[in-house]
Amino acid sequence: IFFELIKNSMRAVVERHGPGADLPPVEVVFAEGIEDIAIKISDKGGGIPRSGMDRLWSYSFTTAGGTAEKIERNKSGDKRPVMAGFAHGLPLSRIHARAFGGDVQVMSLEGHGTDV
């Protein structure tokens, strides 16, 4: 779960600011309360448009380009790992978190960034 959420944040930051730019950090906060342990991941990757928020948990929605292109790239012999774009990471992360009594929540400010 943690890897998926960090990967999403890092990708958003690089895509917004450019690979050669001075990138803002992805911040991670661990908080231990009496009843809960919470992890908050914050990025300045531009956020998610409001129109995309309802589709975040769908297995057919991705912000990382076409899945078909990635499959074709692999078939052509390109061995670079595909790290995003299959639209399964976030929904599966939430299912796993819920299976262990937790949850994944997303708060996004379009034009700024996202907290998960």
pTM above 0.85, yes or no: no
Nearest to 88 by CA among 15, 27, 8, 10: 8
The answer to whether the beta carbons of residues 44 and 21 sit under 8 Å apart is no
Asked if 74 contacts 86 with a C-beta cutoff of 8 angstroms, the reply is no
Per-position pLDDT tens, the chain of length 116:
999 999 999 989 998 998 888 999 999 999 999 999 999 999 999 999 998 888 888 877 666 655 556 566 666 776 655 555 556 789 999 999 999 999 999 999 999 999 99
Residues paired with residue 41 on neighbouring β-strands, in sequence order: 28
CA separation for the pair 50, 35 (Å, rounded): 32
- Looking at residue 89, its amino acid is G
